[in-house]
Amino acid sequence: GENVEQHPSTLSVQEGDSAVIKCTYSDSASNYFPWYKQELGKGPQLIIDIRSNVGEKKDQRIAVTLNKTAKHFSLHITETQPEDSAVYFCAAPPNRDSNYQLIWGAGTKLIIKP
Amino acid sequence: SAVISQKPSRDICQRGTSLTIQCQVDSQVTMMFWYRQQPGQSLTLIATANQGSEATYESGFVIDKFPISRPNLTFSTLTVSNMSPEDSSIYLCSVDVGDTEAFFGQGTRLTVV
């Protein structure tokens, strides 16, 4: 079945700098890769996603890149701000016969230092 | 999109008691998902709930401990039974809208003392 690994577990960056979080997946048939942000006391919320027919997608300060050959995808946040502090999860779709909604990475706690 | 209302947002419970968590969605959905999230950890799927059938539980979770109801297409409950301190966690309900995006309730932070 699909397996998703996420690194690093914690990332601390200076405000204004860039942050990059990486995930690898195991199933070459996977075709959809979302990123979720979880703020304290809230459920995860989708911030950006990418499908396997494109290599990069941007939305203002956030971008996701996908390397299908290497089976990894990354979240890039530029010009980080205090409100970017949160836990970020990558995910990938489960196998067809699975009951799973998504296969989740372990999460990255992003800390933005003022 | 979907708006999910989850109640209670937090509770402190005595060991041996049970707590029922409610999840209300503002639209009809086929499947609802219940997760446990231990402090600093990722999301662990407890079970999937379809309306009109018994929930499907993942390895390590059983119906006697986590009974689930799904009386209609907009509502579900998860009960944490006979609680112990090890059940202290955040419990989340989630739904899919379309084929892809997952929407979550704000979570229930449970502390068992």
Helices (H), chain A: none
Euclidean distance between CA atoms B20 and A4, whole angstroms:
31
3-state class of A82 per DSSP? helix
- What the block records as the tokens of A72 is 């990894």
List of chain B residues whose C-beta atoms are within 8 Å of the C-beta of residue A104: 42-43
Enumerate the β-bridge partners of residue A110: A11, A86
- The residue of B1, B6, B7, B43 whose CB has the most chain A CBs within 10 angstroms, and thus the best one to mutate to test that interface, is B43
For A93, name the nearest residue in chain B, comparing CA atoms only. B100
Nearest CA in chain B to A51: B100
Per-residue pLDDT tens over the stretch B22-81: 999 999 998 999 999 998 899 999 999 988 888 999 999 999 999 999 999 999 999 999
Task: Report whether A90 contacts A31 (CB < 8 A).
Answer: no
| Whole-number pLDDT of residue A19 | 98
Q: Is A3 helix (H, G, I), strand (E, B) or coil?
A: coil
Pairing of strands B31-37, B89-96: antiparallel
The reply to whether residue A42 touches residue B106, judged by beta carbons under 8 angstroms, is: yes
Chain B within 8 Å of A106 (Cβ-Cβ)? yes
What residues are paired with A62 via a beta bridge? A59, A77
pLDDT tens, residue by residue, A50-107: 998 889 999 999 999 999 999 999 999 999 999 999 999 999 988 777 777 899 999 9
